[in-house]
Each structure stands twice: as structure tokens, then as C-alpha cells.
Amino acid sequence: MELFLQQLINGIVQGSIYALIALGYTMVYGVLRLINFAHGDVFMLGAFIGFYTANLLGISQPSVGALILVMTVSMAGSAAVGLVIERFAYRPVRKFSRLTSLITAIGVSLLLEYAAQFVFGATPKSFPTIFETQNISLFGNVTISNDSILIIIVSIFLMVMLNLIVFKTKLGKAMRAVSFNLDVAKLMGINTDFIIAFTFALGSALAAAAGILYSVHFTKIDPLMGLLIGLKAFVAAVLGGIGNITGAVLGGLLLGIAEIMVSGYISSSYKDVFAFLILILVLIVKPAGLLGSAAQEKV
Amino acid sequence: MLQLQDLHVSYGAIKALKGITIEVKQGEVVTLIGANGAGKTTTLRTITGLLTPKQGKVLFEGKDISGTPTHKVVAQGICMSPEGRGVFANLSVEENLELGAYLASDPARIKSDLEKVFALFPRLKERLKQISGTLSGGEQQMVAIGRAMMARPRLLLLDEPSLGLAPLVVKSIFQAIDEINKAGTTVLLVEQNAHTALKHSHRAYVLETGTIVLEGSSEELAADKRVREAYLGE
Ligand SMILES: Nc1ncnc2c1ncn2[C@@H]1O[C@H](COP(=O)(O)OP(=O)(O)OP(=O)(O)O)[C@@H](O)[C@H]1O
Ligand SMILES: [Mg+2]
């Protein structure tokens, strides 16, 4: 029982990070019907922007304030990167077939990975301590680290904010209109190019937040760190029903928990295989995902 | 108010419009009739900037608007109820109407425009909170027209508003179109239902495979032998 609870907590922490990244996949898919394969690399860039921000500011005292500062800079920087990718890579090919966009996405992903290796160096870096981590004993042998609590709280906060933007603001209503039908959205007077760009910025900022939380928790970053996590977050988005915001969160949490359970009870060497096994199963059994349906709300 | 001058539009190698010239004057209801694939929807999509012409001009109040992004065309006062209605099926009737007023920011104005739409289609007031995807076809058409009116268009484009509707519903939709026009909105109406369209319009154009083959007052065309044979089933 204790092992189970411990695994559950670890799974939720892992799953929150997947969920934050999955949101970006699902939102961009919603407005563009595009799998943004470069999204995992934006997560990586978020971590590196955080790394350099913390080092440049010479943060010596770890604190919540330092974390918020680093995270804000990283989110803003990554949002800008997202805007640039959308404007110069995806927008010019939008009028061509979907396959063109997909190949462009793979190209952008490779570009970011190799550029990052060139600029930052290929060897892993230690993420500066901007937040003092310590373990808190819950009961028996079950513990939770304070950075795990932080990951959960920040994730919930960001997801609530996203929900408010998407469902309570005019901008969010425009996003939902664009995801439902691009041409009709235009006929409402919506500047759809702006809405699509905004969606990229929003998704990229969430990926950056995940990048910082991941780095604080796992402390090592490298230019290819977004590869596997990005793929898994994509699996999470498909699992939840791509295009569906609630589905992305659900898919992320489920995948995180399932993966930690597998490594706890079976073997950790199977955990990556397991994620893709889930993907294959979902595609066979319920291709639209858990919350996906024919007439779903796609953002 | 609106002039299409020698408009050519293609989809890749397919020529959908082969140089059409159409004029809509302030205050008119003009109808564009034609069979399947004649190019009616293409014409409306070109006016709203969803398509860009290969050649020719779209003049709105004397200004060439061809190639202008759609949201800017809408801001200039042209709104459309698209083919297939294009209702946001996952949103409520109210949210659909609010999206129609996307460019308006004054809540008092939006409220008074909502009342005008309810006066036009009392049914929508009863269905305000209903998810639009669960409405009947006629009700969805009311949402599409009502939503277009929320932007206070000076020119309203309607793409086959009668498609798939029962005669009684068609009648009430066309009554609403009459009212909209009487209240000062110019209308360009695309229809396959030539009989009803000619009754509710001032002038008409007949489109055949991308070319205007006939034009005149609606009364004249309704009496024209070729129109009677080809479009009124006589
Ligand atoms: N997206 C497209 N790609 C290629 N060809 C198209 C496309 N849309 C329309 N066409 C072609 O252009 C021509 C005109 O089509 P359009 O939709 O304008 O006709 P329509 O008069 O509105 O017909 P309907 O009454 O059936 O709605 C047709 O031959 C059609 O096959
Ligand atoms: Mg048509």
C-alpha cells in the first residue's frame, strides 16, 4: 500500500509535466490540425532559457521568488520562440497540404535540436539550484519532496488560468471558433492569423513552464531532453483525445501514473515502451482518444 | 454598392468563374441563381475574401477589396451566412450570436442588436441556451442569419438559405429576409430555389458554369422562357 501511494504521488508529478506539454500539442492541433513536432524542443529551450537566466542573474539564494522570476522569463522567451516558429515556418506553408506542414514541423524540430547542440553544447548541464528541495515525510515511508508539491501547484494554477482564458474570455471564444471552423471564424471578423499565433505563444509558454519544473526536479538538462518527453506528451494528448484540453490533462496524468506504476511493479526498463504500447492500443481501440468524439470541442 | 468586374476565379486548374460582372445597388435584394456547380458559392467566397480572384475586381463602395483578408472585409460591413450554415455546433445559440458581434465592443449595442434578432426570429429567444448542434435545420439557418446580422452588415450575403428546409420554414426565412432588407440592409442572395428567390428579390442574375447567361429584373426573369424551363421546372 505504501509503495502504491508513493508511486501514485510520483506518477502525478511526472504526469503533470506531460500534461503541461500535452496542452500545447492539443491546442495547436485544435486551431491548425497540425502535430507540432517541434513542441518538445520548445520545452527544451524553456529549460535552457531558465538555465541562462538563473546564471546571468547570478541567483545565489534559492527561493520561490527566484523560481517565479526564472519561470516568467523562460515562459516569455519561449512564447516568443513559438511566435517566430509559427510566423516563419508554419504560416508560409499553411496553404499547402497537411503533409507539407508535417514535414516542416519535423524540420523545425531537427533544426532546434541541432542548433541547441551547437550553441549550448551537447553535454548535459546541471540546472542551477533556484529552489531548495527537501523531502517531506507524509506517513510511514511515504514522502513527497517540496518541489513535487510545487510542480503540482504550479501545474494546477496554469491549467486553471488556461481554462479561464479559453472559456471565459473573448480571445478564448475566438480560439474555440477557429478550432471549430477556420473560414466561419474569419466571417465573424476574427483575425485568425492572430489567434493562431496567440495559440502558439500560449502553448509554448506552458511547455517552458514544464521545462523549468522538470529541470528543478531532475536537475540535468541537455539539448535532446525534449525528444522523448515530447513524444510521450504527444501520446498523452492522443490518449486524452487530441484537440481536447481536458483530455490533454487527463491523458498526461494517466500516462505519468501508468508509467511510474510499470517501473515500480514490473521494471523501469519497460516504462518507455509502455507509453508507446498505450499509443498503439488507443489508436486501435478508441482512435479519437478518451474524451475525443466526432463533434468535440477542439482547441 | 457592390460591383464585381470581370471576375475570374480558379481552383488550381479548374476555372470556377470565367469573368462574371455583377452589380448590387444600395437597398436592393439581388439574387444569383444557378444549378449545382455553377459557381455561386465561389462568387460569395470571393466577395468575402476567402478566395482571391485570378483576374478582375471586387469593388465595395468604389474601393477594390479583392484580396483583402476576410476579417477586414467583415469590418467594412459585408457579412455572410455561409453554405451549410456554418453554425458553431458546439456552442450555444447565445454564444453563436455573440460571435457574430465579435467586432463590436459596446455591450449596450450588442444587447439591442440581440433584441432585433429576436424580433426577426422569436424562436431563437426560446432556444438561447441550447447547444446549436441540436437545433433543427431551420433553426440553425436562423442562427446563421441572426449571427450575420449581429455585425450590423450593410451588405448581407446569403448562400442557399432555403437548402433542405420544409416549405413553411422557407417561407418564414424569406419573410425575415424581406424584413432585413426593408430595415435598410442590402442583400445578395444565392439560391437554387429560383421560384422563391425571384419572388423575394428586385433583380436577378443567372449563372451557368462560371458565366452569367441572363440578367434582369426578377419579374422579367420569372417570365423568361429559358428561366422557366431550366430553373422553374416548367
Ligand atoms: N475547393 C474546391 N476545389 C476544387 N474545385 C472546387 C472547389 N470548390 C468548388 N469547386 C468547383 O468549382 C465549381 C463551382 O463550385 P461552387 O461551389 O461555387 O458551385 P455552386 O454554384 O455553389 O454549387 P452548389 O449549388 O452545389 O452549391 C464546381 O465545378 C466545383 O466542382
Ligand atoms: Mg454552393
Contacts of residue B125, Cβ cutoff 8 Å, sequence gap at least 6: B118
Give which of A182, A180, B106 is closest to B114, Cα–Cα: B106
Measure the CA angle with vertex A200, ends A198 and A203; round to 5°: 110
Give which of B71, B66, B57 is closest to B22, Cα–Cα: B57
User: What pLDDT was estimated at residue B62?
Assistant: 93
Are A105 and A41 a contacting pair, CB within 8 Å? no
Give which of A235, A248, A261 is closest to A19, Cα–Cα: A248
Are A113 and A223 a contacting pair, CB within 8 Å? yes
Helix, strand, or coil (residue B106): coil
The answer to whether the CB of B46 is under 6 A from ligand 1 is no
DSSP state string for chain A: -HHHHHHHHHHHHHHHHHHHHHHHHHHHHHHH----TTHHHHHHHHHHHHHHHHHHHT--S--HHHHHHHHHHHHHHHHHHHHHHIIIIIGGGTTS-HHHHHHHHHHHHHHHHHHHHHHH-SS-EEPP--S---EEEEETTEEEEHHHHHHHHHHHHHHHHHHHHHHHSHHHHHHHHHHH-HHHHHHTT--HHHHHHHHHHHHHHHHHHHHHHHHHHH-EE-TTHHHHHHHHHHHHHHHH-TT-HHHHHHHHHHHHHHHHHHHHHT-GGGHHHHHHHHHHHHHHH-TT-SS--TT----
User: What pLDDT was estimated at residue B49?
Assistant: 96
User: What pLDDT was estimated at residue A21?
Assistant: 97
Encoded amino acid at B157, one letter:
L
Residue bearing cell 449571427? B147
CA distance A27 to chain B (A): 16
Which helix H or strand E contains B155, and what residues bound it? strand B155-159
Set of chain B residues whose Cβ sits within 8 Å of the Cβ of A186? 48-50, 69-71, 74
Beta-carbon pairs below 8 A across chains A and B = 65
Report d(CA A160, CA A206) in Å as an integer.
12
Please report the atom of ligand 1 found closest to the CA of residue B38. 21
**Length, in residues, of chain A:** 299
pLDDT tens digit string along B87-120?
Answer: 999 899 999 999 999 999 899 999 999 999 999 9
Cell of A231: 513524444
Residue bearing cell 446569403? B158
CA distance B41 to chain A (A): 13
Of the listed ligands, the closest to the CA of B45 is: 1
CB atoms within 10 A of CB B16: 21
Helix, strand, or coil (residue B8): strand
Torsions phi, psi of B28, nearest 5? -85, 160
Centroid of ligand 1 to alpha carbon of B109 (angstroms): 37
Of the listed ligands, the closest to the CA of B39 is: 1
Tens place of pLDDT per residue across chain B (234 aa): 999 999 999 998 999 999 999 999 999 999 999 989 999 999 999 999 999 999 999 999 999 999 899 999 999 999 999 999 999 998 999 999 999 999 998 999 999 999 999 999 999 999 999 999 999 999 999 999 999 999 999 999 999 999 999 999 999 999 999 999 999 999 999 999 999 999 999 999 999 999 999 999 999 998 888 888 887 776
Query: Which 139-168 residues of chain B touch chain A by CB within 8 A?
Result: 147-148, 151
User: What pLDDT was estimated at residue A28?
Assistant: 94
CB atoms within 10 A of CB A235: 23
Of all protein residues, whose CA lies closest to atom 22 belonging to ligand 1?
Answer: B41
Tens place of pLDDT per residue across chain A (299 aa): 888 999 999 999 999 999 999 999 999 999 998 999 999 999 999 999 999 999 998 887 888 889 999 999 999 999 999 999 999 999 999 988 889 999 999 999 999 999 999 999 999 999 998 888 888 888 888 889 988 999 999 999 999 999 999 999 999 999 999 999 999 999 999 999 999 999 999 999 999 999 999 999 999 999 999 999 999 999 999 999 998 999 999 999 999 999 999 888 888 888 888 888 888 888 888 888 888 764 444 45
Measure the CA angle with vertex A34, ends A33 and A36; round to 5°: 150
User: What pLDDT was estimated at residue A297?
Assistant: 44
- Strand A135-139 to B2-11 pairing: unpaired
Tell which one of B20, B33, B42 to mutate to probe ligand 1, the residue whose CB is within 8 A of the most ligand atoms: B42
CB atoms within 10 A of CB A217: 18
CB atoms within 10 A of CB B12: 5
Alpha-carbon distance values, A17 to A67, A82, A252, A275 (Å): 16, 19, 8, 15
Whole-number average pLDDT of chain B: 94
Report d(CA B20, CA B40) in Å as an integer.
11
Report d(CA A132, CA A120) in Å as an integer.
25
Strand partners, B158: B81, B189
Encoded amino acid at A43, one letter:
F
Are A180 and A298 a contacting pair, CB within 8 Å? yes
Cell of A41: 524542443
User: What pLDDT was estimated at residue B234?
Assistant: 64
The answer to whether the CB of B44 is under 6 A from ligand 1 is no
Please report the atom of ligand 1 found closest to the CA of residue B210. 14
Tally of helices (H runs) and strands (E runs) in chain B: 10, 10
**Length, in residues, of chain B:** 234
pLDDT tens digit string along A270-291?
Answer: 888 888 888 888 888 888 888 8
**Which strands sit side by side in the sheet containing B203-208, from one edge to the other?**
B78-81, B155-159, B186-191, B29-33, B203-208, B211-217
Report d(CA B178, CA B194) in Å as an integer.
16
CATH superfamily entry for domain B1-77+154-170+186-234: P-loop containing nucleotide triphosphate hydrolases (3.40.50.300)
Domain ranges of chain A: 19-226
Give which of A80, A50, A42 is closest to A66, Cα–Cα: A50
Domain ranges of chain B: 1-77+154-170+186-234, 80-152
The answer to whether the CB of B76 is under 6 A from ligand 1 is no
Q: Is the dihedral of CA A183, A186, A188, A194 positive or negative?
A: positive
Report d(CA A29, CA A169) in Å as an integer.
20
Cell of A150: 510545487
Neighbours of ion ligand 2 (CB under 5 A): B 41, 83
The answer to whether the CB of B37 is under 6 A from ligand 1 is yes
Measure the CA angle with vertex B43, ends B27 and B233; round to 5°: 85
Contact A183 B88 (CB under 8 A): no
